[in-house]
Chains A and B, each alone.
Chain A
Amino acid sequence: MQYLLLIYDQETQWATMPEAEQQKIYQRYGTLTQDLQKSGKMLGGNQLQPISTATTVRIRNGKKLVTDGPFAETKEQLGGFYLVEAKDLDDALAIAARIPSAETGSIEVRPLVKHSS
């Protein structure tokens, strides 16, 4: 079963954090990523640039509309993701609980649709 773990946190908090603390958190992410790779559960993942870099595209009445910013303004912003292979939801939730941002923000766990190829 594949799950996408969406990492939501407050960008401003991250931006104003002393560098030494940021380094500590990066280290924890590094350990988690390594563990997932070793156990064969890591399919992908990365940190995202802040929402100030986001652009949203919509086609309406055949016309392309490009706007600055994310599709919705939220208190916590999507800041990164993991794509993992997990046994079941409990397994995926256990991985999500290890993501450092779970302690300050929220991790949304979404199963992927299995399309038969």
Chain B
Amino acid sequence: MTAEHVTTEPAMSEETLRSRVLGVVADWSSDQRSFKSASWGKAMMWIFLVSDTFVFSCFLISYMTVRMSTTVEWPHPSEIFALDIGGKKIPLILIAIMTFDLITSSGTMAMAVNFAYARERKKAAILMLVTAFFGAAFVGMQAFEWTKLIHEGVRPWGNPFGAAQFGSSFFMITGFHGFHVSIGVLFLLIVARAVWRGDYDVGRPGFFTSRKGRYEIVEIMGLYWHFVDLVWVFIFAFFYLW
């Protein structure tokens, strides 16, 4: 390994990759903690998120299956989710706004994690409240969307636009995602309150446990929130755009 080679790609040289792969083997070997850079709380949240990935994957795959197998034309989301703004019909605009809203909430969440670790608890709590606000706004827009579609006659068993499976897929997928966002908003409010009060400075127990809470809960909370955003990326691509 020449010095020249090392300097060209410091981020992921062959040696670094080799050392990282050997690190995986070492971390998983035996009788030791496997996730050395992650606490139990973070590792458990990640494992929960993997299981949730499978849940949403099953929804999206069953949606794919019914859409592929039906002989009736699939309704056009572009037209169904269009809104009249200033006399003009803009396709899919509501969903675009919801997407930007959720991405914004992810941005504020990421910054909240940063401030929490910096022990700037007021800033962290305010950013979490902003995140919760955008989350609640998302759920509100979804409620508006559901109301609009139900008024137009979309039902889980049929709709006036095309294939009957559209309704069941729509209510199931967006409903489950909206439920995740709602739980996330509650979780955010609880943690924001604890951060604001300084619970993690004085070591007051967390809400699920009698152990001392730590500022890491903000990062763990953030993982859940970003995951909800991540799921929306896939729903947006496969359900609304495809």
The answer to whether A and B come from one shared complex is: no
